[in-house]
């Protein structure tokens, strides 16, 4: 029998192992940042092991990172299969085409939807029920862009192709349909700015529970106008 000779290109082999090592280190670094985000921002977590094993937001991000790599290599169907499987187990739907920075914390996570062309910066926080979506059947970039250190409260909807600036906060239940400047707080339906660079635009202090009610404010303004008109009418009647 003849001998079989196998030639190994050591340089190519070392290069392949080097690239694989770089990818593994990058993936490990992203995982650590995701766990750090949970430990830094959730007072309920007791250990890093708990964050890694029991937090659905972390599991959804792991699946997203795998699906995103497949999506970038144009394995679109397989990528969507991974993302939809993760949605089934976590209740969080992240399209594999989305762009997500490091340190994203999805708290509780149930009902969170992140669209295909969404861009999320570093160290952002999303609470349950958040939607980062589009407003129709537009093609191209049709989902929002979140800067760094953005907080989106529970149930908030951010819809359309615009930018939410660095350090911005969106209150629970808000519906944001336009840009939010950096370091501003937006509340209401549709959302409007109530804080800018730490200064109050409205006289009511804001957190996720005690937020101003724009409908109630408008009703108060109408009531004040009616009282003013009634007072003026009474004065005119007295003169007659």
3-state per-residue secondary structure call for 172-214: CCCEECCCECCCEEEECCCCEEEEECCEECCCCCCCCCCCCCH
Predicted local distance difference test score (pLDDT) of residue 34? 86
Q: Kindly report the CATH number assigned to the domain that includes residue 185.
A: 2.160.10.10
Q: Is the pLDDT of residue 83 over 60?
A: yes
Residue 123 belongs to some domain of the structure: yes
What's the pLDDT at 120?
95
Average pLDDT, the chain: 84
pLDDT digits (tens, 9 = 90+) for 182-228: 999 999 888 888 888 766 765 444 455 555 666 777 888 888 888 88
What does the pLDDT read at residue 169?
A: 93
Is the pLDDT score of 6 beyond 70? no
The string of pLDDT tens digits covering residues 141-177 is 899 999 999 999 999 999 999 999 999 999 999 999 9
* In-domain check, residue 180: yes
Residues of the chain with pLDDT > 90: what percent? 48
Cα separation, 9 vs 177, whole angstroms: 56
What's the mean pLDDT in 97-104?
A: 91
pLDDT score for 12: 63
The answer to whether residue 50 scores a pLDDT higher than 50 is yes
* Assigned domain for 162 exists: yes
Total structural domains in the chain? 1
Query: Considering the domain boundaries, does residue 132 fall inside one?
Result: yes
The CA distance from 194 to 205, in Å, is 9
User: Which structural domain range is residue 162 located in?
Assistant: 99-211
Inside any domain, residue 143: yes
Please report whether residue 86 resides in a domain: no
Out of 22-31, 91-100, 128-137, pick the least confident.
Answer: 22-31
Q: What's the average model confidence in pLDDT over 176-183?
A: 92
Q: Is residue 179 part of a domain?
A: yes
Tell me, what's the pLDDT at 2? 56
The count of residues in the chain is 240
Specify the pLDDT at position 10: 65
Cis peptide before 175 (omega within 30 of 0): no
Specify if 106 maps to a domain: yes
Say if strands 192-196 and 184-187 run parallel, antiparallel, or are unpaired: antiparallel
pLDDT tens track for 61-75: 999 999 999 999 999
């Amino acid at each position: 029998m003849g001998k079989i000779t196998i030639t190994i290109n050591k340089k190519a082999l070392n290069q392949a192992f080097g690239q694989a090592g770089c990818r593994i280190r990058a993936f490990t670094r992203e995982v650590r940042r995701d766990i750090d985000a949970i430990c830094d921002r959730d007072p309920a977590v007791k250990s890093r092991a708990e964050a890694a094993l029991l937090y659905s937001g972390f599991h959804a991000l792991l699946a997203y990172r795998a699906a995103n790599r497949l999506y970038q290599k144009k394995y679109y169907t397989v990528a969507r299969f991974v993302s939809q499987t993760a949605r089934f187990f976590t209740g969080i739907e992240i399209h594999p085409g989305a762009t997500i920075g490091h340190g994203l914390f999805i708290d509780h996570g149930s009902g969170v939807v992140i669209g295909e062309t969404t861009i999320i910066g570093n160290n952002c926080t999303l609470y349950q029920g958040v939607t980062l979506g589009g407003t129709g059947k537009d093609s191209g970039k049709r989902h929002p862009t979140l800067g760094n250190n953005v907080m989106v409260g529970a149930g908030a909807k951010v819809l359309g192709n615009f930018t939410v600036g660095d350090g911005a906060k969106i209150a629970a239940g808000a519906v944001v349909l336009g840009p939010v400047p950096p370091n501003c707080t937006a509340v209401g339906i549709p959302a409007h700015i109530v804080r800018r660079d730490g200064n109050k635009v409205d006289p009511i202090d804001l957190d996720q529970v005690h937020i101003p009610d724009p409908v109630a404010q408008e009703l108060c303004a109408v009531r004040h106008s009616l009282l003013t008109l009634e007072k003026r009418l009474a004065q005119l009647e007295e003169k007659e």
